[in-house]
Amino acid sequence: MGMGSGGGKGKSRATLSEINVTPLVDVMLVLLIMFMVTTPLMQQGIEVDLPKTSSSGVELNDEPFVLVIGPDQKMTVAKTKIAMNELRPKLKAIFENKKNKQVYIQADRKVDYGFVAEAMAEVRAAGIFNIGLITLPKEQ
């Protein structure tokens, strides 16, 4: 009899030491769904009025590096404001170890052409010669 009662205690200890992962999986699935729903809502940016052109789009392999020039000639990179005199050293530092040296400029149509040309010259001076302009397609 002593053996039978000892065996029962051993079984109860074995079941108590198991970790139930079902609640953990449930919580993780709920968090995953919440992040999937809220991530598209978090993409905000500076509103710029892009010029319309008849050219076709470009296929992108990596996440593009976009330099945004607002209607007030304020430049931003990844939601960080940057001055014209800081553009060249920052771009050199950013693209120092990158293989894909490509910059897209998203300028408002109200921005002076000279300012955009000056920004493009700074990008070229930083050693980046693959520059693209982001536009909208023309409506037929």
pLDDT at 97: 84
pLDDT band with cut points at 50, 70 and 90 for residue 69 = very high
pLDDT at 30: 94
pLDDT band with cut points at 50, 70 and 90 for residue 46 = low
Q: Check residues 136 and 52 and name the one with the higher pLDDT.
A: 136
Domain boundary assignment for the chain: 2-42, 52-137
- CATH number 3.20.20.140 is the correct assignment for the domain at 52-137: no
Among 16-25, 41-50, 73-82, 89-98, name the one with the lowest average pLDDT.
41-50
For the entire predicted model, the pTM comes to 0.56
Look at phi and psi of residue 18 and say left if phi exceeds 0, alpha if psi is from -120 to 50, else beta: beta
DSSP bridge partners of 132? 104
Q: Can you state the percent helix, strand and coil of the chain, rounding each to 5?
A: 40, 20, 40
> Measured between alpha carbons, how far is 135 from 65 in angstroms, rounded to an integer?
15
